Homo-oligomer: A and B are copies of this chain.
């Protein structure tokens, strides 16, 4: 027992293993392991002794050994769709913050990879699954038909999705109700007297594009002004794309009096396009967005948009996945968040 301190200094540079503790306490490896895990076939004194010595020696379990043995990784995978130098969307930062905080809270690790969506996206999921690197996945940026979901289902790896796909939705997800959000936007514009409402929509293969577009169509239809094909443009989700689309729209013989962009970035682009033509946004033309990124509040004019609680969604998605991994059943396995219309000046409201 008194040689203990000696052993301590001696092994200080190397990693302390359970075996070292066994040697130091004179107990067996088994007993040490069980003492550390508070099994009840270890006497109180032994537990105390072992735990004290472990603390003194600065023992931390070797996670690979634990994981190898337990056949569990306590790690969740998040694969980000990047395009070149940028994350696919500015709000992915908030999403990561939400997921990361929640994962940390439950002492799960978060394994992040980046992957351009155009390349063989599935390959990276396969690698992580087959190398048994993660217990489950969080999937973001869904497409109408999403191979990732099909794949994870066939190999029976748990996952939770931020977003939805087309067709059967027999998997756990969190999504915002893009249709309702867009309906609110359009209703509001109609109430303000706008009639010639144009829409800049994201690429059709992205599922949320369809939800949001449908919202625009629904609201217009309902009030008897169905969306004219010429007033709908597709653009990638960037400002540049929004700018270009808006320029086309504003060059039409009968100019629209409102542009409803399906995300904030494209709305910023649309505002720039209008301003370059000398139009006053909020008067000559209304512009709206979706996402309520931090910049929306401070653009000029401030952007009317739809608020999405991305941080909370990240945390929820992560929480659901962890519950699933722990074998709990989810009280609610499909969650649709009600979005909130945020009225600022770009739509021309007082």
- Bound CA–CA A154/B252 (angstroms): 67
From B62, B67, B101, A114 is in contact (CB under 8 Å) with B101
What is the minimal beta-carbon distance from A154 to any residue of chain B, in angstroms? 11
Q: Interface segment, A124-132, A141-149, A164-172?
A: A124-132
**B-chain residues with CB within 8 Å of residue A300 when the two chains form the complex:** 271-272, 275, 299-301
- Bound CA–CA A90/B295 (angstroms): 10
CB distance B112 to A96 under 8 Å?
yes
CB distance B68 to A131 under 8 Å?
no
CB distance B98 to A131 under 8 Å?
no
CB distance B64 to A73 under 8 Å?
yes
Closest chain B residue, CB of each to CB of A310: B85
What is the minimal beta-carbon distance from A41 to any residue of chain B, in angstroms? 27
Q: Interface segment, A103-111, A191-199, A218-226?
A: A103-111
CB distance B131 to A114 under 8 Å?
no
CB distance B130 to A101 under 8 Å?
no
From B87, B103, B298, A272 is in contact (CB under 8 Å) with B298
CB distance A131 to B62 under 8 Å?
yes
Within 8 A of B (CB), among A90-125: 90, 92-94, 96-98, 100-101, 103-104, 109-115, 124
Within 8 A of B (CB), among A43-70: 58, 60-65, 67-68
From B62, B86, B110, B130, A68 is in contact (CB under 8 Å) with B62
CB distance A97 to B85 under 8 Å?
yes
**Given known contacts A90-B90, A275-B300, A300-B299, A113 and B100 CB-to-CB distance under 8 angstroms:** yes
CB distance A295 to B311 under 8 Å?
no
What is the minimal beta-carbon distance from A164 to any residue of chain B, in angstroms? 23
Which has the most chain B C-beta neighbours within 10 Å: A61, A103, A109?
A109
What is the minimal beta-carbon distance from A173 to any residue of chain B, in angstroms? 21
CB distance A86 to B97 under 8 Å?
yes
CB distance B87 to A96 under 8 Å?
yes
CB distance B86 to A100 under 8 Å?
no
7 pairs of residues in contact across A and B, judged by CB atoms under 8 Å: A58-B130, A68-B68, A82-B100, A86-B94, A93-B93, A100-B114, A275-B300
> Which A residues lie at the B interface, using CB under 8 A?
15, 58, 60-65, 67-68, 73, 80, 82, 84-87, 90, 92-94, 96-98, 100-101, 103-104, 109-115, 124, 127, 130-133, 239, 243, 265, 268-269, 271-272, 275, 294-295, 297-301, 310-312
